[in-house]
Amino acid sequence: MKKEEIMRFLLKSIEDRRWSESAQNQAVNAIKFYFEKVLGQERTFYELRPRKSQKLPGVFSEQEIIALFKAIENLKHRTILMLIYSAGLRIGESVKLRKADINLERKSIFIKAGKGKKDRYSVLSDKVVLLLQEYIEAYKPDYWLFEGQDGGQYSTRSIQQVFRRAVAKADINPYSTVHTLRHSFATHLLERGMDLRYIQSLLGHSSSETTEIYTHVTKKAREKLYSPLDFLDIDKPTKKT
């Protein structure tokens, strides 16, 4: 097993299982013990240990985003990943979307929050609106926006596999995860001058002091919001399956 494969495993576990820094250290210690003590290999995994200042897997550049989406020909796969980036979704939120949560006319998406969190709305890019129209016409989803083969929710594992294949084909950051799209959404909006308060509202971030500011955006303010995907030149997908 190569060091890069172990790094991908750690990053995937951090995203899927939400490992704390302590849990990451325990995993690294176990990996080090096995390879260095059991197999007798050289000390090669010391740089895997998490750094407090580097908790995120990074952010894609806009050109990397373009390369990623151009690497996906399947209509359903491209729609899922472009929607995640376009609206700043968590992977778990994307698979829980219902068809009724999408308002193509208002270019908005309703995101039902988990326990202890607040529901929110986010924006739909003009490009994603067109893509969703094409996707819905082609796949005709019933209840869930993205259905699995049995008609239930599409799995997060399937999305991760689609993402990994696209990353490899586009030849971009191999240590990135689906969550990198969400971080890129926020970063690209900030770089284009959007008010940080609006970005935090779209992401669903809040604190005891700023909850009301960050979770309530007026209709007038929402009209000024946009998706970073609107600025990217991306071709249409060519394949349904």
Write out the catalytic residue numbers: 90, 115, 179, 182, 205, 214
Query: Are residues 202 and 98 in contact, defined by beta-carbon separation less than 8 angstroms?
Result: no
Closest of 191, 198, 205 to residue 60, by C-alpha: 191
For the chain, the C-alpha Rg in angstroms (whole number) is 19
- How far apart CA 42 and CA 35 sit, in angstroms, is 8
Q: What is the DSSP string of the chain?
A: --HHHHHHHHHHHHHHH---HHHHHHHHHHHHIIIIIIS---S--GGGS--TT--S-----HHHHHHHHHT--BHHHHHHHHHHHHHT--HHHHHT-BGGGEETTTTEEEE---TTS--EEEE--HHHHHHHHHHHHHH--SSBSSB-TTSSBPPHHHHHHHHHHHHHHHT--TT--HHHHHHHHHHHHHHTT--HHHHHHHHT---TTTHHHHH---HHHHTT---GGGG---PPP-B--
